[in-house]
Structure 1
Amino acid sequence: MWRGLTRLILLMVLAGSLAGTTLTAARIASDPLIAPFVEASKAQIAAATERMLITAATPETLSAHIANRLAETPRNWLALDALVDLAHERKIPLPSALNAAVQTAREDDHSYYATVTSCAACAYDPAQCSLSEVMICQASIALTPIGDIAGITRAGVAYASGDKVDQIDLALSVVGLGATAAILASGGSSGVVKAGASLAKLARKMGRLSPRLVDMAVTAARTGVNWASLPAVRSVDDLTAAIHTEAFLPLTNTLTDLSRLNTATNATTALHLLPMVDDANDARRLANAAEALGPKLVGRAEVLGKSRLFRATLRFSETAWALGAGLVGLMLSTASLIGGVIQHALIKRLRRQIKPSA
């Protein structure tokens, strides 16, 4: 009697666990707003990255990162300084030879002659710019509507002449000028969108846009531009007739969060981290990390990399915990039920073997 009652209870628990798990899974499938992961708070992001650094920020790892950055041309002093600061923050001693190499490189790169010659090369070719130089030597045009109008005009002239159109520059110019005219400001203020577009244009000149973000810009240009009207665009007022705004919204939303990144840190940091951004989700997670970590973001990004840094910006939702609890309960109930059946079968077999001998 008791064995039968126990099996009945286990069966009821199993059915309840299965029903709860199925219900939670159905809610996730039917409602896109319910996700197993949600954005972590600033405190949670900071705590998560600290836990990751315990195993990631070793003396060997930091020394290797610093040595790799020293070997670059031009050197990225934003990343180098962040790595050195991280070592000091965590009281990790660096080899004396490495410290001496950093000091020598700093003196070489920051001399008067090196600054003048490198800025001249940067003004001529943005791909030669270091992150510290680009904001001085290139930003004056890229951060104003003048650069956007010029980009659209160049594309219109090229299209009318049958030449190849730079669709990436065109898409970013359209977003920048459209934001200035409040045509493409959905998801953020016009100033926010314009700032994100300007950063992306600078990053493109420096070769710092990810391939997927480049594809997004090309898609926006191909599907969102009225090519017949493009050559006539000479002002903000002409832009409305030449674009389909909905085609530019994915790019616009991505660039909006790039501006959040800029606000939380600075333009140089945003340019440095832009290669991590493939889409709007990446831009939002990076902006969340910037708002949580502030000046510490670069050093942590250098050591942790994109995947671990972005993982720190998420946490399990209540839905995920409910689903996990349901699955655990289901597995335990199933195991208990199977164990009970096996035990009952073994006892019956033993009884049959005992009876003849008795």
Structure 2
Amino acid sequence: MIWRRITRLILLVILAGSLAGTSLTAARIASDPLIAPFVEASKDQITATTERMLTTAATPETLSAHIANRLAESPRNWLALDALVDLAYERNIAIPSALNAAVQTAREDDHSYYATLTSCAACAYDPAQCSLSEVMICQAPIVLTPIGDIAGITRAGVAYASGAEVDQIDLALSVVGLGATAAILASGGTSGVVKAGASLAKLARKMGRLSPRLVEMAVDAARTGVNWASLPAVRSIDDLTAAIRTESFLPLTNTLTDLSRLNTATDATTALHLLPMVDDAADARRLAIAAEALGPKLVGRAEVLGKARLFRATLRFSETAWALGAGLVSLMISTATLISSMIQHTLLKRLRRSLKQKAPPKPRASGGDI
């Protein structure tokens, strides 16, 4: 009896300690934003994690399906196609002969002199018709310079003054690009870094490669950060400074800063290809981290793993998360053990009571005859 009480007391002490430790760790996470349950994984950890993921994701059937889907696009994305073929060779996966022949035929068709000439002309007229390789030749010379930003702001001012519809996305990206050039919107990075990110986003917008959330961010920046009455009069950097509220552009500016980091880790064509994965600054940062770890192998892995799994590979549990997890496990074990002990004690008491009630009465001792 005494030992049972001692055991329950010990379990209560363990339970109280687990509860206190778990609560303390959770309170630290809630009160200090710098203490996060997840932290950035190292380059070696990202590489190892993606390799483990590929063992189940990069099957012959999956790779063949991805290659066939990319092959059916128009214009074809040869950056993605080549990355998928390279991934198959890297993992010693044989591509079906018919599919391999179709890839070679398409390559010859798309890279012939006549095809290159006609497709570049179409790209110069309509950026939506550009392939990733063509856009850097046919569109970049204008978009990557302040000339494109000035033109974008001027177009918006003229449209507003005439009552026409304003392209708020182009306006927001032009404001960030020109503002970065003038060093008035360089939060989170140098002016050159922000300008590069804005230019990359403008190219992606022309090709329809901006994610819906990034488009929404640009529209929100233009809607809340532009003094529309002053916009038609913008003729200089000083005019631009007076016509915008810089704080409204900071979320967009920070996202574009990490886009430039992605561009630096890879190249402009790869960054354009991966831009649909970016919804905000956190996505841009994780994609840049993956690019710095995986290098040229990033595209193939992104094609097969997708955004969710690729981004998950860039994170690992922090020491705080392990402490919280250990506390929760200890708390659950202690609680379960204590409840089990209480149930066992209650059942034993009921069993003893039942046995006492069913036991026959003891016979009385009878005296001798008198």
The TM-score bracket by the shorter chain reads: over 0.9
Quick one: which amino acid aligns to residue 99 of structure 2? L
Quick one: which amino acid aligns to residue 287 of structure 2? L
CA distance in 1, matches of 2:162, 2:344: 84
CA distance in 2, matches of 1:200, 1:156: 21
CA distance in 2, matches of 1:55, 1:109: 33
Q: TM-score, normalised by structure 2?
A: 0.95
- Residue number in structure 2 paired with 1:357: 359
Tell me the secondary structure at the aligned position of residue 316 of structure 2. strand
- Residue number in structure 1 paired with 2:61: 60
- Residue number in structure 2 paired with 1:237: 238
CA distances 1:32-60 after superposition (whole Å, capped 9, x unpaired): 22221111111111111111101000000
Contact kept in structure 2, 1:149 and 1:235, CA below 8 Å: no
Quick one: which amino acid aligns to residue 319 of structure 1? T
Show the 5 A alignment for 1:135-284.
135-284=136-285
CA distance in 2, matches of 1:301, 1:17: 41
Tell me the secondary structure at the aligned position of residue 33 of structure 2. coil
CA distance in 2, matches of 1:241, 1:114: 48
Quick one: which amino acid aligns to residue 263 of structure 2? N
Q: Is residue 343 from structure 1 mapped to residue 344 from structure 2 by the alignment? A: yes
Tell me the secondary structure at the aligned position of residue 141 of structure 2. helix
Count of residues in correspondence between the two structures: 358
CA distance in 2, matches of 1:23, 1:171: 44
CA distances 1:300-354 after superposition (whole Å, capped 9, x unpaired): 0000001111111111111111111111001000111011111112222332344
- Residue number in structure 2 paired with 1:127: 128
CA distance in 1, matches of 2:236, 2:114: 41
Q: TM-score, normalised by structure 1?
A: 0.98
- Residue number in structure 1 paired with 2:325: 324
Q: Is residue 6 from structure 1 mapped to residue 3 from structure 2 by the alignment? A: no
Looking at CA atoms only, which structure, 1 or 2, has the larger radius of gyration? 2
Quick one: which amino acid aligns to residue 221 of structure 1? A
CA distances 1:232-255 after superposition (whole Å, capped 9, x unpaired): 212323211111111000000000
Residue 200 of structure 1: how far off its partner (Å): 0.2
Identity across the alignment (%): 88
Tell me the secondary structure at the aligned position of residue 226 of structure 1. coil
CA distances 1:119-145 after superposition (whole Å, capped 9, x unpaired): 000000000000010000000000000
CA distances 1:273-305 after superposition (whole Å, capped 9, x unpaired): 000001111111111111111110000000000
CA distance in 1, matches of 2:245, 2:347: 73
CA distance in 2, matches of 1:325, 1:247: 42
User: Which runs of 5 or more structure 1 residues have no equivalent in the other structure?
Assistant: none
- RMSD of Structure 2 on Structure 1 (CA): 1.0
- Residue number in structure 1 paired with 2:107: 106
CA distance in 1, matches of 2:149, 2:129: 22
Tell me the secondary structure at the aligned position of residue 335 of structure 2. helix
CA distance in 2, matches of 1:235, 1:294: 40
Tell me the secondary structure at the aligned position of residue 73 of structure 2. coil
Residue 172 of structure 1: how far off its partner (Å): 0.1
Tell me the secondary structure at the aligned position of residue 123 of structure 2. helix
Contact kept in structure 2, 1:179 and 1:191, CA below 8 Å: yes
More displaced stretch, 31-40 vs 200-209: 31-40
